[in-house]
Amino acid sequence: MSQFSHFNEQGRAKMVDISDKSSTVRTAVAASSVRMIKEVFHKIQKREIGKGDVLSVAQVAGIMAAKQTSTIIPMCHPLALKGVDISFDWKEDGNTYILNIQVQVKTKGSTGVEMEALTSASVCALTVYDMCKAIDKGMIIGPTYLVEKTGGKNGDFHRASDI
């Protein structure tokens, strides 16, 4: 089992030892989305959601989630993040609206930040759902995916196109 880096000699999960890896600048960009009815879109835009400014709260939740990823994803290393940037844009699709979420996470360290970016994007979407569910329980979250990552021994990854 030793060829699998996340398993020990007994075939049990372990946190990978990254102490010999070089410290380099590493970035990751992840995306997610929330599909909603027109009424929710308008209430978010007009800041008429009873729980507060949805995008501001989702942005703070996403930043907090990126910083806490290692506490909820068992094999993730705790990282000193150097930056988290979250942006939103809207797309109309027939009678529904799609909130697109993009998160960029950056660090200088021995392991990548893909999980931090993905966790952040997921929590942003979940926060939007939580804040708006009284109006529309039928909102759809996702897909959530890695757009790109840079740095590290495995090299860069760039998704050919958005999903």
The residue annotated as part of the active site, out of 93, 130, 156, 162, is 130
Give yes or no: 93 in active site.
no
Alpha helices, H only, the chain = 38-45, 54-67, 69-72, 114-132
User: Is 77 labeled as ligand-binding?
Assistant: yes
User: Is 158 labeled as ligand-binding?
Assistant: no
Q: Which of 44, 62, 40, 64 is nearest to 54 (CA)?
A: 44
- What's the rounded Cα separation, in Å, for the pair 56 and 58? 5
Helices (H) and strands (E) in the chain, counts: 4, 6
User: Is 48 labeled as ligand-binding?
Assistant: no
Residues in binding site for substrate: 75-77, 115-116
Residues in binding site: 75-77, 115-116
Q: Report, as residue numbers or ranges, the catalytic residues.
A: 130
